[in-house]
Amino acid sequence: MGDNRSEPPQPRPGRALAHTPGVSGSGSPHRSDSRSPQTPRGGRRSGPVGRPGTTPPVPGRPTSSPPLRSRLRLLGLLGFSALLLALITWQVVADGPLLRLDERVDAALLHPDRPSELLSDLGNVQIAIPVLVTVLGLVALRGRSSGTDHWWLPPLAGAVPMALVPALVVPLKVWTDRQGTPAVPPATGYFPSGHTATAAVAYGAATLLLLPHLRTPAARRALCCGCAALVLAVSYGLVRRGYHWPLDVVASWCLATMLLTLTALALGRIDRTGRGRGAGRRDAATGQPK
């Protein structure tokens, strides 16, 4: 009782020796078993990308994925194109002030010559449609030879907007009944430009179908720039030759943008569905596609 010497604390019966120095096999004076000091980083399970629970854990709100942002941008482009087309059509029907500017721009650009006629011919059905049909066939053959499920869906998505062009352009021509430029015989039904819509949708749909098959970003950019240059060349030729007013061409750009945006959304959905099905056919042991 009277001994004041300090002694180490004695373990109580029934308590785990969690802090007993020198426990056999622990490898650490602070572990009571043979487990490693911490869970290895490679052994952790990571949650979905961008969500809490990833390795390392990221608190807070999950960030939106790039496909979602891309779809939102496409929907914004779709809405803007529809709004601009409605505005231009209203100006044409109501003979609004925008038509005075349209006539001044046309007078500055109008100069019929052989080069402008050749450029406008690139929007002919006889040229644009065979280009699109060739791309549709190549994409279909590539998808079928690779064993892709529903290989016919991308070509179908590329063909539908081209079939919609006359179904949308012809009623607009009849409804607006716009007079042609001074360079053409007196007639009506020039709004919007059918040649511009044909060129933009045919070459644009072909570009959207070919983009996934190009390996490098530089090749994709070159294809997109080539498509844009081709459509602009057709548009310039039509206005300079006097076949259409500038607003006829701009309205067809809006219409083609709407159709191509819907096509891009459809192709994106087809691609995501195909990847989902492909992911489900992986071997359970190796994680590789069967």
Q: Say whether the peptide bond before residue 192 is cis (omega within 30 degrees of 0).
A: yes
The arithmetic mean of pLDDT across residues 73-77, rounded, is 92
Sign of the alpha-carbon dihedral angle for 284, 286, 287, 290 = negative
> Distance of CA 63 to CAs 44, 54, 68, Å?
21, 12, 10
pLDDT above 70 for 226: yes
Does the pLDDT at position 31 exceed 90?
no
pLDDT tens profile 133-166: 999 999 999 988 887 778 889 999 999 999 999 9
Among residues 198, 227, 196, 197, the alpha carbon closest in space to that of 210 is found at: 227
- Helices 246-280 and 217-241, axial angle in degrees (round to 10): 160
Residue with tokens 């601009």: 84
Is the pLDDT assigned to residue 101 strictly greater than 60?
A: yes
Mapped onto helix, strand or coil, the DSSP state of residue 188 is strand
The mean pLDDT of the chain is 81
Please tell me which residue, 108 or 39, carries the higher pLDDT value: 108
Q: What distances in angstroms separate CA 19 from CA 14, 24, 33, 136, one per listed residue? A: 14, 12, 10, 72
Domain boundaries, the chain: 70-276
**Average of per-residue pLDDT across 27-48:** 50
Specify which of 68-77, 137-146, 241-250 reaches the highest per-range mean pLDDT.
241-250
∠ CA 33-34-40, nearest 5°, is 115
**pLDDT value at residue 145:** 87
